[in-house]
Structure formats: C-alpha cells, structure tokens
Amino acid sequence: MEHSENRNETDLIIENVSMTEQTNYDFNVIVIPDEEVKMHFEYNANVYDSASVMRIKDHFIQIMEQVANDVQLCVQELEIVTVEEKKQVLEVFNDTAVEYPHEKTVYQLFEE
C-alpha cells in the first residue's frame, strides 16, 4: 500500500506539439477523433496515383454517409460505389453498341 502524505504530485501538461506518423506501408488511413472525425490519407505516389486515392476517399465517404443515415444497415447492404461512379461504369464504359449486318451469322462476322 502506498502512502502519499509526504508526496507532491503535479500534472504534466504538454501543449502545441505536432506529431508525425510513420509506417512502412504504401497506403495509410489516419483517423483523428475530434469534435468531427478527420481522416488523413497518406500514400506512396510511386504506387498510387492521386485519382485512385480520391476514388478511395469517395468510397469511404459513401460508406460513412450510409452508416450515419441508417445504423441498422448490414455490411452486405452497403453500396461502396458512388452513384456517379456506377453511372460511369454502366453507361459510359459500357457504351459498346455497334451496328452489324443482321443477315450474317456470328461465325461470318468473326471471319471478317
């Protein structure tokens, strides 16, 4: 049992200190809890381009918004892809309609 009658205790307060995170990973997500949760993405630019990182950021936001709107949402119900990205994949990238002669068989088209 410790007696503290003759002991002086003081609090140590450290202010205005900045920190640097360091890891050996090519992609890091740093979550900073505060009044608002802040997320910071650090990545190796030799591995990831900024467009890919922005897309990942958008996916995080998409997931967080869904969870914030419905805390009962199951993981399997989450939509990772944004509405804009889904439209791009389904309509822009999938624009493969081509006119072809209807009187020819598939085999004949491949021969050409």
What's the pTM?
0.60
What pLDDT is stored for residue 82 in this prediction?
86
Reduced to 3 states, what is the DSSP secondary structure of residue 111? helix
More confident of the two residues 94 and 51: 51
Return the exposure string of 18-28: e unless at least 16 CB atoms fall within 10 Å of the residue's CB, then b: eeeeeeeeeee
The answer to whether 39 and 30 are in contact (CB under 8 A) is yes
Segment among 20-24, 32-36, 81-85 with least mean pLDDT: 20-24
The answer to whether 78 and 66 are in contact (CB under 8 A) is yes
User: Is the pLDDT confidence value at 21 over 70?
Assistant: no
* pLDDT per residue as tens digits for the range 76-103: 999 999 888 889 888 888 888 888 888 8
d(CA 74, CA 67) in angstroms, rounded, equals: 9
User: Is the pLDDT confidence value at 5 over 70?
Assistant: no
If you average pLDDT over every residue of the chain, what do you get? 85
d(CA 45, CA 53) in angstroms, rounded, equals: 10
